[in-house]
Amino acid sequence: MAQEKDTAAKVVELLLIFAIVLGAALLVMRELCERAENSQRRVTVDRMIAIEDGLAKYLVDSGGLLPTAEQGLAALLKPPKAGPQPMSWNGPYVDDEATLRDAWGRDLQYICPGRPIEGYENIYLPYCLWSYGADGAEGGDEMDRDMCSWDRKTMIP
């Protein structure tokens, strides 16, 4: 009888240890997944900043023009063939095509001219650049939230 109690106690003890180890492993996995997602957001933000730098250089070289929405961000890699041509194209203005995509492999969104400045319906931002985040859909929370050049707090990973 005493031997059965010892065996049962050991089984309960092992189950308790297993539950604790499993719980700890799940917490570690959750933290690693969150860090990976934050890393993807950081990569996307870094790429957006590189594009903004490239757009600023393009603006200087082109005599005050930005690539049109039709020319797109590809104009930062190769001189545009259609639309207004830059006075001088000294690109490429970004490292490679991967820079033009978010960390999830989707093209970054770009329009020029941008959206109206809040509170000023007739004054527009020069351009708008954004990613739809991890889910690839407009809006979202946490890792799925959009990253928008016109709202810098959305670009905090």
pLDDT tens-digit readout, 53-85:
999 999 999 999 999 999 999 999 999 998 888
DSSP string, 87-99: S------SS-GGG
Phi and psi based region of residue 119 (left: phi greater than 0; alpha: psi -120 to 50; beta: remaining) = left
Q: Which two tokens stand for residue 30?
A: 């959750």
User: Given the structure tokens 């095509």, which residue do they identify?
Assistant: 97
Query: pLDDT band at 155, cuts 50/70/90?
Result: confident
> Cα–Cα distances in Å, from 129 out to 23, 57, 102?
41, 16, 11
Range of the domain at 73: 2-155
Confidence grade of residue 32 (pLDDT, cut at 50, 70, 90): very low
**What is the average pLDDT across 93-98?**
96
Each residue's pLDDT tens digit, 99-116: 999 999 999 999 999 999
CATH number, residue 47: 3.30.700.10
Gap between the Cα atoms of 79 and 140, Å rounded: 35
- The total of other beta-carbon atoms located within 10 Å of residue 150's CB is 14
Using CB atoms within 10 Å of the CB of residue 66, give its burial: 0 to 12 exposed, 13 to 18 middle, 19+ buried: buried
pLDDT top residue among 136 and 20: 136
pLDDT, one tens digit per residue, over 3-21 is 666 665 554 554 445 445 4
**Domain count for the chain:** 1
Residues 6+ apart with CB under 8 A from 40: 102, 103, 104, 134, 143
